Chain A
Amino acid sequence: MRAARTPSGGAVAVVGAGMAAARFAERFHALGGRGEVTLYGAEPAAPYNRVLLADVLTGRYGAESLTLPYGTAVARTGREVTAVDPGARVLRLADGTSAAYDALLLATGAEPVLPPVRGLYGPDGSPREGVHVFRTLGDCRRLAAAAAAAERAVVIGGGVLGVSAARALAVPGRGPGGLPVEIVHQAPHLAERHLDAQAAALLRHGLAALGVAVSAGSRARALRGTGRVTGVELASGRVLDADLVVLACGVRPRTGLARAAGLPVRTGIVVDDTLACAPGVYAVGDCAEHRGTAYGTALAAWDQADVLAARLSGAAPGAVYSGSRPLARLTAGPLEYAAFGETGGEGPGLDVLRLADATRGAYRKLVLRGDRLVGGILLGDPAAACALSRAYERDDPLPVDPLSLLITRGASR
């Protein structure tokens, strides 16, 4: 393990001004770190809480109230970094200027994965009108404006992001809402990375009650329309009318800068337990890959930012990151689930406990190995998720009669 390179008053350049960057800057300051921290953000907005974007779309949050604290750091927003030179300790910006630093933190986040669908772009190569991704506050603003004038929406992708976006577009609230929405999802059921078929069926039922239809096991083949999009053509040949299409097919770590600078990249920028990818160069958040995992969740990003801030501020120079036990969480109005660990439950030595209440849309599945909880799905009853996911995170031994977990109300009543 490499010794931390403490800036000790030197300048820390952070490429990115998203959640991980803001968290690092805030903790670095709170822990008494000296040295100027500068966040370089390609987006025009000051650091904000991306987790809440779906509820900006519903109108629950005003865009301005998403702002996150970032300590005493300087946020240079709308300033895209185009290259980093770890040898010379210089970074270059899109406007042609450059800046020197003593320590570099890559917090470049993730970017939407675009599905292999024909017609995403117009004849001139620009994205087709009516087609949206949903990753940034800017995306959210554009989507909200488009939704206000739209008649029918299709969301391509039925993971957490797609389900949240579909629900936000469908539900009349303070936001645009009230649109008929259909989710097109390639896998046999929704959120297949987290849910089993039974849970996904309950989720689908809940979406239907909100006016969201689901075409699972369907692949979108092409977008229809000349100019503005008019529909989505499925591999089956069926065509769904739509004047608004949201692409929600997941994200991938944004690693271009790191790759170009010769830093180690696999799925993400490869970091060790000190969050370093090279001497004096660190990466945290969605862009980072630690022990083979690129988490892509805000909570893991913050765990990493906390460790790095503790190291670089001098508050705990020996702090190490040993991984997070992430919890997948959907919170979309009445639709909620939490899932963690090995949710499939197939395999030697695994016990599965299950409780389902179709009428109330509640489902609990716990996967045990011996006296340890190794996975779970808790749908429609998030209060229970709290205590159980904690037992999973802490790897607590379970009670002598694990069946009692299925009816626990959690720690609070």
Chain B
Amino acid sequence: MSGVFRAGNTAESATTRAAATLLDMTTTDTHCPYCSLQCGMRLRTADTGAAPVEVLERPEFPVNLGALCGKGRTAAAVLRPAVRLTEPLVRDVRGGELRPASWDEALDRTVAGMSAARERYGRDAVGVFGGGGLTNEKAYLLGKFARVALRTASVDYNGRFCMSSAAAAHRRAFGIDRGLPFPMADISRTGCVILVGSNPAETMPPALRYFRELRENGGRLIVVDPRRTRTAELADLHLQPLPGGDLALALGLLHLVVADGHLDEDFIARRTTGFEAARAAAMAHWPERVERLTGVPAATLAAAVEMFTSAPEGMVLTARGPEQHSKGTDTVGAWINLCLATGRAGRPLSGYGCLTGQGNGQGGREHGQKADQLPGYRSIEDPAARAHVAAVWGVDPACLPGPGRSAYELLDALGRADGVRALLVMGSNPVVSAPRAAHVTERLRALDFLVVADPVLSETARLADVVLPSAQWAEETGTLTNLEGRVLLRRRAVDAPPGVRDDLAVLSGLAGRLGVPKGFPADPEEVFEELRRASAGGPADYAGISYARIGAEDGVFWPCPDEAHPGTPRMFLDRFATPDGRARFAAVSHRPAAEEPDAEFPLFLTTGRVVGQYQSGAQTRRVEELNRAAPGPFVELHPALAGRLGVAEGQLLAVSSRRGRAVAPARVTDAIRPDTVFMPFHWGGEGRANSVTNPALDPVSGMPEFKVCAVRVERAAAEADR
């Protein structure tokens, strides 16, 4: 199959291919392996289909128009055999070394480990932990593998740590969860954007063009962030709230919308429900109270409302900043309220959107690797959804397990009496990325059996009994759904090194060994065809999308219920996806973070990202150029705080919480609040930010509180300085 998609479908790329062929080279149009923007890129390879691979621009792809960030440009470096796994590894005894093994041995050992746990402790003692970077096909087949081959309820994925709060709020307000209800390009044409807890200058640099264009077109940009980030520096107005203050901030803005007569009464009456209760909640958040709760001056709140409401159209976009909290779902709900109350939703160039993080953060949450969900964004508790999916899978609906634990709860219960005893991790590195990571590491060690499928020997893979070397983005074909809800096709450009297998083939091999030989094809397009049927009629309906259409149309926006349907770039223009077609206000109130600073731990810690690294760094930390730009963790702090602590730039700081300690050099800047320190979380080891973070969960989404906890900061021991 892959050969068909080796080259692009556009005229330009055909020309390029012709030119390249003269040099015994071939090009393949595909997408970046990193974030949810899924920039189009073109890979040039030797005609033999082998490495080396060169990353080229692909200017005609609409989302990034050729632009790539440093991560994208250097993506091919991770394909080098030297930095990755090229053969399965097994560990013969606990505490022993990993040694090379054959695929047969590795898969047999995996099945033996899973079967032993199942026999001894029951089906739910075998678990699966997926990732938001997996293709739709892998995410789908992984969920099916859990429900049909393992018949376990214990399946979830690291997307819980990503945008699950926005997803929950989206469904509550609009009846459906698609990150952006409009294409990215609409951002440059709206009147005002409030960007909440998002730093695209570092996390998705090619997206920055839309915010720049917005301002060039006369629009205004408001950035909400406890740090004056490179993105905030572009803003017309920067609101710098305390970590954990975003919910109160949104309520305070809604309060001023009411006070200053900016309600869109007509929109509220025609297209929404629940306004009275939401307004009452906002009335409890008057400006002086919100100032006290958020640290944002009342006058700045008023300026933001004036700026937002004086533009004819407006958008609110959130990212992990407001979402990764134990109140993340309510926080996003409050920002959606602001859009609904001002009529900035359900019409062109206006609306709420979530800037999803992981490469397939959107698609990965739609097709069944979530504990409570079946393909097509169906609920696993809905009898009709169970019947539909069971019919596609050819099983009895009664055989499908019910909802399982959310990601952190699943990890927290590993090795415990009622927890998972044998775990398959695919495309995730929780040793670095999970909250309270030292504890999670301990739980992983407490497993009877751990198998990790990953292209590289990640920190999590190092703990495994069996490590399965996975193929990567340029070596396999599959679809991803970007932050816009645009379904895209990554195309295979090169062969994986010998000894490496595609995850679909791994699942196929495991299912066969578990006695379920049918229903687990290794061919991605075959899996996608089944996914189309399984998603048909669901909220995330892919029924009308095919590989051929994606190639011909630069992606297709779901929902797309049939092949004649054009796809849906802009949602909600006529109605919202709720039963009555109206968007629902959320009656939410401020509440404190799960852990607020006190005498013992007097400062806030917030965590985030830097431009040179991606997520847990499993890929990017293997690229020399990126490591030069972003060599390691650091602790960002205000000069006033540094002065009090008597610490200078570069000196080692210990950041401690009730859960653990991280050590990293100081980076002194007045871009951060004096009551807050910041650490990027891309690294393991001593500088692991997630040693410190709080696993308090959002009651609706299961999102941990990565973005705020209480810490003490002090000079690391003198010997560490030497």
Interaction A to B: yes
**Contacts from A to B (Cβ < 8 Å):** 22-23, 26, 30, 48-49, 51-52, 55, 60-61, 65-69, 298-299, 302, 327, 329, 331, 382-387, 389-390, 393-394, 396-397, 399-400, 410-413
A327 touches B300 (CB 8 A): no
In the complex where A69-B589, A383-B297 touch, is A412 in contact with B239 (Cβ < 8 A)? yes
Cβ–Cβ < 8 Å partners of B279 in chain A:
65, 67
Q: A49 touches which one: B283, B300, B673 (CB < 8 A)?
A: B283
* Bound Cα distance A327, B289 (Å): 10
Q: B300 touches which one: A26, A60, A383, A394 (CB < 8 A)?
A: A383
In the complex where A386-B291, A386-B295, A399-B640 touch, is A49 in contact with B284 (Cβ < 8 A)? yes
B residues 518-553 in Cβ contact with A at 8 Å: none
A61 touches B259 (CB 8 A): yes
* Bound Cα distance A397, B599 (Å): 12
Cβ–Cβ < 8 Å partners of A299 in chain B:
288-289, 292
Cβ–Cβ < 8 Å partners of B296 in chain A:
386, 411-412
Q: Place the interface of chain B in its size category.
A: 35 or more
Q: B673 touches which one: A51, A302, A411 (CB < 8 A)?
A: A411
* Bound Cα distance A55, B303 (Å): 18
B residues 636-688 in Cβ contact with A at 8 Å: 640, 643-644, 673-675
B residues 260-299 in Cβ contact with A at 8 Å: 260, 276-277, 279-281, 283-284, 286-289, 291-292, 295-299
A67 touches B299 (CB 8 A): no
- Least CB separation from B644: chain A residue: A397
B644 touches A67 (CB 8 A): no
* Bound Cα distance A245, B680 (Å): 61
Cβ–Cβ < 8 Å partners of B280 in chain A:
67-69
Cβ–Cβ < 8 Å partners of B673 in chain A:
411
Additional pairs, 14, CB under 8 Å, beyond known A65-B258, A331-B287, A385-B297: A22-B284, A30-B589, A67-B280, A67-B283, A68-B280, A68-B284, A299-B292, A327-B292, A331-B288, A390-B295, A393-B292, A399-B643, A412-B300, A413-B228
Query: Smallest distance from the beta carbon of B320 to chain A beta carbons, Å?
Result: 21
B565 at the interface (CB under 8 A from A): no
Cβ–Cβ < 8 Å partners of B284 in chain A:
22-23, 26, 49, 68-69
B297 touches A386 (CB 8 A): yes
- Least CB separation from A389: chain B residue: B292
Q: A66 touches which one: B281, B283, B675 (CB < 8 A)?
A: B283
Cβ–Cβ < 8 Å partners of B297 in chain A:
382-386, 410, 412
Cβ–Cβ < 8 Å partners of B347 in chain A:
none
A412 touches B675 (CB 8 A): no
B277 touches A390 (CB 8 A): no
Q: Which 3 A-B pairs have the closest CB atoms?
A: A383-B297, A386-B297, A399-B640
A69 touches B298 (CB 8 A): no
Query: Smallest distance from the beta carbon of A413 to chain B beta carbons, Å?
Result: 6
- Least CB separation from A327: chain B residue: B292
B83 at the interface (CB under 8 A from A): no
Cβ–Cβ < 8 Å partners of A400 in chain B:
640, 643-644
Q: B238 touches which one: A55, A302, A412 (CB < 8 A)?
A: A412
B283 touches A26 (CB 8 A): no
A69 touches B299 (CB 8 A): no
Cβ–Cβ < 8 Å partners of A69 in chain B:
277, 280-281, 284, 587, 589
Cβ–Cβ < 8 Å partners of B470 in chain A:
none
Cβ–Cβ < 8 Å partners of A390 in chain B:
292, 295, 675
* Bound Cα distance A350, B238 (Å): 35
Cβ–Cβ < 8 Å partners of B591 in chain A:
30
B298 touches A331 (CB 8 A): yes
B675 touches A68 (CB 8 A): no
Query: Smallest distance from the beta carbon of A75 to chain B beta carbons, Å?
Result: 12
A396 touches B675 (CB 8 A): yes
Cβ–Cβ < 8 Å partners of B259 in chain A:
52, 55, 60-61
Cβ–Cβ < 8 Å partners of A55 in chain B:
259
Q: List 25 A-B contacts (CB under 8 A).
A: A22-B284, A30-B591, A49-B283, A55-B259, A65-B279, A66-B283, A68-B280, A299-B289, A327-B288, A329-B288, A331-B288, A382-B298, A383-B300, A384-B297, A386-B296, A389-B292, A394-B597, A396-B675, A399-B640, A399-B643, A400-B640, A412-B238, A412-B239, A413-B228, A413-B238
* Bound Cα distance A68, B276 (Å): 10
In the complex where A60-B260, A69-B587, A412-B239 touch, is A387 in contact with B295 (Cβ < 8 A)? yes
Cβ–Cβ < 8 Å partners of B299 in chain A:
382-383
B240 at the interface (CB under 8 A from A): yes
* Bound Cα distance A30, B587 (Å): 11
Cβ–Cβ < 8 Å partners of A413 in chain B:
228, 238, 240
- Least CB separation from B301: chain A residue: A412
Cβ–Cβ < 8 Å partners of A397 in chain B:
644
Query: Smallest distance from the beta carbon of A301 to chain B beta carbons, Å?
Result: 11
A411 touches B240 (CB 8 A): yes
Cβ–Cβ < 8 Å partners of B298 in chain A:
331, 382, 386
Cβ–Cβ < 8 Å partners of A51 in chain B:
286, 288
* Bound Cα distance A399, B279 (Å): 40
Query: Smallest distance from the beta carbon of B395 to chain A beta carbons, Å?
Result: 38
* Bound Cα distance A412, B238 (Å): 7
Cβ–Cβ < 8 Å partners of A387 in chain B:
295
Cβ–Cβ < 8 Å partners of A30 in chain B:
589, 591
Cβ–Cβ < 8 Å partners of A65 in chain B:
258, 279, 283
Tell which of A61, A69, A413 has the most Cβ of chain B within 10 Å: A69
Query: Smallest distance from the beta carbon of A266 to chain B beta carbons, Å?
Result: 28
Cβ–Cβ < 8 Å partners of A298 in chain B:
289
* Bound Cα distance A23, B283 (Å): 12
Cβ–Cβ < 8 Å partners of A302 in chain B:
289
Query: Smallest distance from the beta carbon of B282 to chain A beta carbons, Å?
Result: 9
* Bound Cα distance A302, B295 (Å): 18
Q: A26 touches which one: B258, B289, B291, B589 (CB < 8 A)?
A: B589
* Bound Cα distance A412, B591 (Å): 22
* Bound Cα distance A299, B285 (Å): 11
Query: Smallest distance from the beta carbon of B227 to chain A beta carbons, Å?
Result: 11
Cβ–Cβ < 8 Å partners of B283 in chain A:
48-49, 52, 65-68
Cβ–Cβ < 8 Å partners of A48 in chain B:
283
* Bound Cα distance A299, B288 (Å): 9
* Bound Cα distance A375, B283 (Å): 29
* Bound Cα distance A329, B591 (Å): 23
- Least CB separation from A383: chain B residue: B297
